Chain A
Amino acid sequence: MLTHVKNRIESIINNINQLPSIPEVASHVLNMVNNPDIDFKQVAAEISKDQALTTNLLKLCNSAYFSKGKEISSLDRAIVTLGIKEVKDAVLVIATRTVLDKVVMGYDLTKGMLWQHGVAVAMMAKKIAMLTGEKARADIAFTGGLIHDVGKTVLALFVQNVFKDIMNAVENQSLSFHSAEKEIMGFDHQEIGEKVLEKWKFPEILKDIVRFHHQPFESSETNRKMVSIVHIANSVCLMAGIGIGSDGLFHELSTEAIALTGLADVQLESLYSEIPELLNQTKDIV
């Protein structure tokens, strides 16, 4: 373990101002939607507090992926036509773009790659949720998929400096990349991502998805299936090369996670083989 690196990372995660931010409205909307008694007018009122976000949101709601062909001219229409959960997902897409759509040095991701990866994993996770009896929580799979790698944006510069040490730990100790990150730097990108979500005041289930997407069976039992869904979506997208970086495929594909979702081999292969069609859909959003 490189103590000086660990100390520098610690000082960043303990200083909330050094972690990425998203518009406050996005966190409010996310938490409002979690409340089953919420009135959609209150959500619309909250969103409209942020004029820039509202403008971009209406544009996004009219994209092929979200609109499903219906013309949407106002926030109220968006919520009524698409549903409050879909609108929440669209709000999160807009809110997290500036955080995720950038060069991520140490992971060798050029501008746009981490963003495209997040959007692809979001769509894939939502698709898997629908296939595995989690229609009611498909929006959570989407949001979780979108932001699962947010910790990489904070850790990138450190990874760049110690990349050789991390790869040596991967090769000599047969560690997955995230375990090697922790071995060398004292933290992995999942833990840093969880800290970012704490700052954003995101709910526990999303924190669990971010914190355990490479090791779904260490998450709490209540959240384990959703974490597993994002774990599988991430694996399938990485295998197809979507957002693959210097950490490559040095990750584990969890048999237990697959068993928990009940996905059969042939379903997994078909999800993988439909990646080109899914990428076409991401074009609306990225």
Chain B
Amino acid sequence: MKALINVGVAQIGFANQPSVLRTILGSCVGICIYDRMKKMGGMAHVLLPNKIGDGKDEKYADTAIPILINHLLKDGCKKEFMSAKIAGGASMFKFKSNISLGEIGSRNVQVAREILQKHGIPLMEEDVGGSIGRVLDFFMEDGRMKVKAAGEEKLFYKV
């Protein structure tokens, strides 16, 4: 059955064909990983780049992405068939550079790219930065990612 599964802030969601994973992003980054043979995947919605202290692992790019990958591997996915797409990482339109909170969006994007690379998952496409809010839909039937932002829709097909 086709289901629409909402992935909240600091959550990781998984689904099979033909379901859809959805999340809404500001400065957070949504990391979508898809196995094109098994037609299944997962999405992490991370708030911050690096875990410091004892926060929940799902909040941070450097701890959430390994959880996402390992869960998919456990479900029978294979790394050679996996690929990633990311979206989000927006910043406030105007802020002074001395406010580190303002840089979180771009730091999230940077670290998400690094962690994916470190784990050998190719990053196929991304829709990041700017000041737009994004509604991100990730389709398990073919791994495409749809980004709805500021009244427009964009599609990303590469897997």
Give A residues with C-beta under 8 Å from B: 108, 163-164, 167, 170, 176-177, 235-236, 238-242, 244-253, 255, 258, 265, 268-269, 272-273, 275-276, 279
Q: What would be 26 A-B contacts, judged by CB atoms less than 8 Å apart?
A: A167-B150, A176-B94, A235-B92, A238-B133, A239-B26, A239-B27, A239-B104, A239-B105, A241-B24, A241-B26, A244-B26, A248-B130, A248-B133, A248-B150, A249-B132, A250-B93, A250-B131, A251-B93, A251-B94, A268-B99, A269-B100, A269-B104, A272-B104, A276-B10, A276-B47, A276-B56
Closest to A164 in B: B151
Whether A240 contacts B95 by the Cβ 8 Å rule is no
Whether B93 contacts A176 by the Cβ 8 Å rule is yes
Q: Determine which of B26, B47, B59 lies in contact with A238 in the assembled complex, contact meaning CB atoms within 8 Å.
A: B26
Closest to A244 in B: B133
Whether A253 contacts B95 by the Cβ 8 Å rule is yes
Q: Determine which of A239, A275, A276 lies in contact with B101 in the assembled complex, contact meaning CB atoms within 8 Å.
A: A239
Docked Cα-Cα span, A250 to B133, in Å, equals 9
The smallest C-beta distance from B136 to any residue of chain A, in angstroms, reads 10
Docked Cα-Cα span, A249 to B95, in Å, equals 11
Whether B99 contacts A258 by the Cβ 8 Å rule is yes
Given contacts A246-B150, A258-B99, contact A273 B55 (CB under 8 A): yes
Chain B positions within 8 Å of A239 at CB level: 26-28, 92, 101, 104-105
Interface residues of B in 95-134 (CB under 8 A from A): 95-96, 98-102, 104-105, 130-133
Whether B9 contacts A240 by the Cβ 8 Å rule is yes
The smallest C-beta distance from A43 to any residue of chain B, in angstroms, reads 37
Closest to B93 in A: A250
The 7 closest A-B pairs by CB, nearest first: A244-B133, A252-B94, A241-B26, A253-B95, A276-B10, A248-B133, A248-B132
Residue B8 lies at the interface, judged by CB distance under 8 Å to chain A: yes
Whether B151 contacts A276 by the Cβ 8 Å rule is no
Main secondary structure, interface of A, reads: helix
Main secondary structure, interface of B, reads: loop
Residue B16 lies at the interface, judged by CB distance under 8 Å to chain A: no
Closest to A113 in B: B24
Whether B92 contacts A253 by the Cβ 8 Å rule is yes
Docked Cα-Cα span, A249 to B134, in Å, equals 10
- Cβ contacts B62-93/A at 8 Å (1 or 0 each): 00000000000000000000000000001111
Q: Determine which of B9, B48, B133 lies in contact with A249 in the assembled complex, contact meaning CB atoms within 8 Å.
A: B133
Interface size on B, residues (CB 8 A): 35
Chain A positions within 8 Å of B23 at CB level: 241
Chain B positions within 8 Å of A276 at CB level: 8-10, 47, 56, 59
Given contacts A176-B93, A251-B92, contact A242 B102 (CB under 8 A): no
Docked Cα-Cα span, A242 to B24, in Å, equals 8
Chain B positions within 8 Å of A247 at CB level: 133
Closest to B27 in A: A239
Residue B149 lies at the interface, judged by CB distance under 8 Å to chain A: yes
Q: Determine which of B55, B99, B132 lies in contact with A265 in the assembled complex, contact meaning CB atoms within 8 Å.
A: B99
Residue B159 lies at the interface, judged by CB distance under 8 Å to chain A: no
- Cβ contacts B2-43/A at 8 Å (1 or 0 each): 000000111000000000000111111000000000000000
Whether A249 contacts B101 by the Cβ 8 Å rule is no
Closest to B148 in A: A108
Closest to B48 in A: A273
Chain A positions within 8 Å of B104 at CB level: 239, 269, 272
Docked Cα-Cα span, A106 to B17, in Å, equals 33
Docked Cα-Cα span, A269 to B96, in Å, equals 16
Whether B26 contacts A245 by the Cβ 8 Å rule is no
Closest to A245 in B: B133
Chain A positions within 8 Å of B28 at CB level: 239-241
Docked Cα-Cα span, A248 to B130, in Å, equals 9
Chain A positions within 8 Å of B98 at CB level: 255
Whether A272 contacts B26 by the Cβ 8 Å rule is no
Docked Cα-Cα span, A251 to B27, in Å, equals 13
Whether B47 contacts A275 by the Cβ 8 Å rule is yes
Q: Determine which of B47, B91, B92, B151 lies in contact with A108 in the assembled complex, contact meaning CB atoms within 8 Å.
A: B151
Docked Cα-Cα span, A241 to B29, in Å, equals 10
